[in-house]
Structure 1
Amino acid sequence: MVNLYEIHYYSEKNKYPVFEFISSQSPKEQAKILREIDLLSEFGLSLGMPHIKKIQGIDALWELRIKHSSNIFRIFYFHFVEGKFVLLHAIRKTTTKTPKKELSIAVKRRNHYLKGSE
């Protein structure tokens, strides 16, 4: 497998929220989530549905869509520069619509990243 795209985990104060979220899941769920991240690094935005989807109404925010058994996960990310994706926030989805609170966390982290703050 050739990875054409770089995957970066958003960090703030030496914490990596998406990595920590993945680590807190069961081993099988971790494997499924990491496989989807590998697909993103291999195919980028051409991966398409059902794997990725643009978040409507929020500029430049995408979701990586992961389903394992009856569990649904979302990782929110953005395409920073050519060939680089930044994973901002991850959730276990429990409702039909993604809670606005979760999207606002992703937007806040994206803005923080773009300002170059650490």
Structure 2
Amino acid sequence: MRYISYNGSKKGVCMFQIEFYETKDGQRPIEEFLDSLDDKMTAKLVGLMEILEEYGNNLRMPYSKHLEDGIFELRCKQGSGIVRILYFFYYEGKIIITNGFVKKTQKTPRQEIETAKQRRDDWISREGR
């Protein structure tokens, strides 16, 4: 399944643009994660990503929450399922989505935050700046 960034802004211009983290060999782990979810959850997440593109760093609870060290989570609940998508902001209005997980505990698992930080550092080292 392909996930295309949609500019849902009523003004026709988004200040932010979402990109998926990509490994050196071209894999996009977040696409695999999104493909593993049911259609309703995926549709809701895509809608939330559109909202994130429109509002960027002005998006707050209940949709978005800063976790630590520049890592944020996009919060999604569909029925009894809860999913989190982790991301960071980069120059020129870029939002880089690093990873996602199905939430099963009260706190965000430390390993998910560390994965987001490692992928952020890798992305920045390859993109420069």
User: Does the TM-score normalized on the shorter chain lie above 0.5?
Assistant: yes
- Given the alignment, which residue of 20, 26, 32 partners 1:14? 26
**Which residue type is aligned with residue 23 of structure 1?**
D
Q: Deviations over 1:30-62 (max 9, x none)?
A: 10111111100111111211000101xx31111
Residue matched to 2:103: 93
Instruction: Give secondary structure in 2 for the equivalent of 1:116.
Output: helix
Counterpart residue identity of residue 97, structure 1: K
SS of corresponding position for 1:115: helix
Distance 2:70 2:121 in 1: 11
Among the aligned pairs, what percent are the same residue?
34
Aligned to 1:40: 52
**Does the Cα contact within 8 Å between 1:45 and 1:52 map onto a contact in 2?**
no
Q: Does 2:38 correspond to 1:26?
A: yes
1:107 aligns with 2:107: no
After the TM superposition, list the runs of 4 or more consecutive aligned residues in structure 1 that deviate by more than 4 angstroms. Answer: none
The 2-side partners of 1:54 and 1:98 are apart by 11
Alpha-carbon distance in structure 2 between the residues aligned to 1:116 and 1:79 = 16
Q: How many residue pairs are counted as aligned between the two chains?
A: 115
CA positional deviation for 1:19: 1.6
Q: Distance in 2 between matches of 1:40 and 1:68?
A: 18
User: What residue ranges of structure 2 are gaps of 5+ in the alignment?
Assistant: 1-7
- Segments of structure 1 that go 5 or more residues without pairing to the other structure are none
